[in-house]
Each structure stands twice: as structure tokens, then as C-alpha cells.
Amino acid sequence: MNTIRPAGPGIPLSRELAGVFARMSGLLLSEETVETSLTLLSSLAHETVPGSCGAGVSVIEGGRRTSAGSTDDRVRDADGLQYELDEGPCLAATAQRELVVVDDLRAERRWPRWTAAVAPLGLHAALSAPLVAGDTTVGAIKVYADHPGAFDTRSRELLVMFSAQAALLVANVQSAERAMRLSEAMRQAVRDRDLVGIAKGVLIGRHGIDEEAALRMLVARSQHDGILLAGAARAVVDSAVRRRRP
């Protein structure tokens, strides 16, 4: 089976690769989303691995690809076919947590449906490495070539080292994006709470009822209209605003 395990720490970093890692680190200081970061990582992988004609990065959660970045349409199509057919080197690298090598797609027999589907794209070789951050596999990174046997041992070692750093970056960007979503959700929860409070005040003043009865009215309206409590509160507040207009 054409797989090799990630290279050990004895492989020295070239100046070129050290520079690539510095550029990766710069992404963490920017306001990038996961999608944008994956596209930038794809470009860096393409520049870094000799013999590649394109590259792509995919984030996989629960066996499902949630986001992706690629350098061109051929890579995007080849990756898409993997997830559509549920087979291919990218999925194998993710599942096995090791580098997967395809020297010649025309002679490849591990994923017959995928290789047949990808043949018209003119891609003839591939490398795919898992993105492993700690104990978690967050996805895979892959490079393609226009001719068979394009990736030598050095190319494979470079992609393995690249993937180790890329995994940390993807995990960090994911964490930052989740934190931003959580922060926004908390802000929205506060806004909704305040809106419900205002709506209860409107109902108390309008009907001469207590706070508990006002809340029951809001809940009943939300159930009747099939909307969230905040939506019912917004409708009450908006009606009060309209009543005050001359």
C-alpha cells in the first residue's frame, strides 16, 4: 500500500519551509475566517511542494466535509468527487492518519470509482496528508500533479511537515471562529432578554396585568404564531411604537 507515516523530527527544516511556517503564523494575526485560511493554506502548499500543479485543504468533522479551500477548479472538482463517492486519498489519509501516495492515478486500484471519475481532469498523481492537531484529526491537505511519479521522497516529507503546522493553524482558526460565534450568540441572548423585558412592560401597561401574566401572554403568542419568544416580543414592541405615531 503506497502510504508512509509522517517523517520524524530528524528532518531539518529548509529555509524555504521555515519561511512558509512564518507566513502561516502570520495568518493567526489576521482576521481570517476558516474558509479564507484554507484557501491561503492551499496556495502555500502548492508553492511549497515540488511537482504540484495544485493543492487543496479540507476540514472534516464527523466524517463530513464542513469547509474547503483549493487553488483551482480541477482540485476543487477532484476533491468534491471524493466526498460525493465516499472514497479517495483524502478520505483515506484522514481515516488512517498517515500520508497517502498516489504515484499514477491510471494504475491506482484502491478507489476505482474516484479514479475513473477524476480521469477527465488530467490529474495523474496525488499526495494527501492528514491534519492532526493533538489527538484530533481536523481534515486533510493534498497536492496534485499533471504527470505520474511527480512526487519524490523530499516532496512527501515537505507535505508531512507542512501538514503538521497547517493542522495547528486550522485548529486555532476554528477555535477563534467558534469563540466569535459564541460571543455573538451571547450578545444576541442579552438583546433578546432585554426585548422580552420591554414587551412585558408594554403588556403590563396596556392590560393592567402583572409580570407573570405578561410573560404568559408572550409565550401564548409565540406558540400561536409559531415564532420564538423574542419574535413575539418584537411584534408587541413594534405594535406599541406604531400606536404612538401620530
pLDDT by 10s per residue, the chain, length 246: 444 444 444 444 455 555 565 555 555 444 456 677 788 889 889 988 999 999 999 887 666 676 678 999 999 999 999 989 999 999 999 989 999 999 999 999 999 999 999 999 999 999 999 999 888 888 899 999 999 999 999 899 889 988 888 887 787 776 665 555 555 556 666 677 778 888 888 888 888 888 888 888 888 888 888 888 888 888 888 887 777 665
Q: Dihedral of the CA atoms 158, 46, 128, 161 (nearest 10)? A: 20
CB 20 within 8 A of CB 48: yes
- CB burial of 61-92 (b: ≥16 within 10 Å; e: otherwise) equals eeeebebbbbbeebbbebbbbbbebebbbbbb
Reported as type and span, the H/E element at residue 84 is: helix 73-85
Residues 6 or more apart in contact with residue 178 via CB below 8 angstroms: none
Q: Do the strands 64-70 and 3-4 form a parallel or antiparallel pair, or are they unpaired? A: unpaired
Grid coordinates of 213: 401574566
The confidence score (pLDDT) of residue 185 equals 53
Q: Which residue shows C-alpha cell 486555532?
A: 172
The confidence score (pLDDT) of residue 171 equals 77
Reported as type and span, the H/E element at residue 21 is: helix 15-28
The confidence score (pLDDT) of residue 22 equals 56
The confidence score (pLDDT) of residue 36 equals 77
DSSP assignment, residue 113? H
Domains contained in the chain, CATH given: 3-179 (3.30.450.40), 181-244 (1.10.10.10)
pTM: 0.64
